[in-house]
Amino acid sequence: MGAHTHEGHGGHTHDGHTHGVTAGADRRWLALALALICGFMVVETAIGILARSVALLSDAAHMLTDAAAIVLALVAIRLSARPAAGGYTYGLKRAEILSAQANGLSLLLLGAFLGYESVMRLIDPPEVNGALVLGTGLAGVAVNFAAAWCLSRANRTSLNVEGAFQHVLNDLYAFIGTAISGLVVLTTGFARADAIASLVVVALMATAGVRLVRASGRILLEAAPSGVEPDEVGDRLVADPRVAEVHDLHVWQITSGEVSLSCHVLVAPGGDCHAVRERLEQVLREEYGITHTTLQVDHVPDQRHCVTAHGRVHRAAPAIAE
């Protein structure tokens, strides 16, 4: 038989998400962290040039990417809050994913440049003012600790906010390394400690960049979110004794924390399609945390009709599916 209607048992969409509850608070915490980072970044750049410290300059560059991450996060929060309209049926919720992708790529590119510069200075180290590096590094620890605390108060389930938080946290570790390198230069005169500290910063930037590009790339390619195995979900749905087959199963992520699922469910003869749909929605909600679902539920067709499935087919038992 044909697909049931929404009023009966057909395609049904259920959405229990609540979005934008903390958007205003997030913007305030992000703006405060941005002010701290930008103010210190300007000072650090000037001191890095005076001290001839590539470690300080690389820290300042990392802070620039932190600032860019926060600005993009602020823009994305505003865009994501816009309601769906016209051809954008999901609204602009993917804006934060695009900004996370751009942020990750900028980290990798800037890290490559600073890595090259650090290796050159490791081979031929210039004279470094250890006292300036040490003092600035300690100040950077304090500023980044304050900025990280601000970002920890925001909603870190957002890939953007979490990315910005990880940036600032990595920068905090980097400043600790910079302060140590300044102390080493000041007490021993070992100038290469500055370049070594810079390479540590580069490694942190590369790690954060790869993580952001990978996470945002999975969402843009509409892969199943981490921790959700579509085959496992299909097997779980077909475990219901009233379900004969599940196919055309798709699980994807619209944006951070918003997972969607759609599939075609065939119910065994005599089964109540409406009751089956409600039960499967309950399973998806309680066991997988998926509340945005579109389930097309039909009875098993007779031999005169056939159902074309795309992808893997999950069947309760060959005898029923036949």
pLDDT tens digits, residue range 249-265? 999 988 877 889 999 99
Residue 190 has pLDDT above 50, yes or no: yes
pLDDT digits (tens, 9 = 90+) for 16-66: 443 443 556 677 888 888 999 899 888 888 888 888 777 678 778 777 878
pLDDT of residue 7: 36
Phi-psi region of 204 (alpha: psi -120 to 50; beta: other; left: phi over 0): alpha
Domain ranges of the chain: 23-220, 225-321
User: May I ask the CATH architecture of the domain 225-321?
Assistant: 2-Layer Sandwich (3.30)
Residues found in the chain: 322
H helix runs in the chain, sequence order: 23-51, 54-80, 95-123, 130-152, 159-188, 192-220, 230-238, 273-288, 318-321
Sheet holding 314-315, edge to edge: 12-14, 292-299, 258-267, 243-255, 314-315
Higher pLDDT, 3 or 29: 29
Q: What CATH number has the domain spanning 23-220?
A: 1.20.1510.10
Which secondary-structure segment (H or E) carries 267? strand 258-267
* The pLDDT of residue 20: 40
What are 109-148's pLDDT values in tens digits?
A: 888 888 888 898 888 887 777 888 888 889 889 998 998 8
Residue type, 286: E
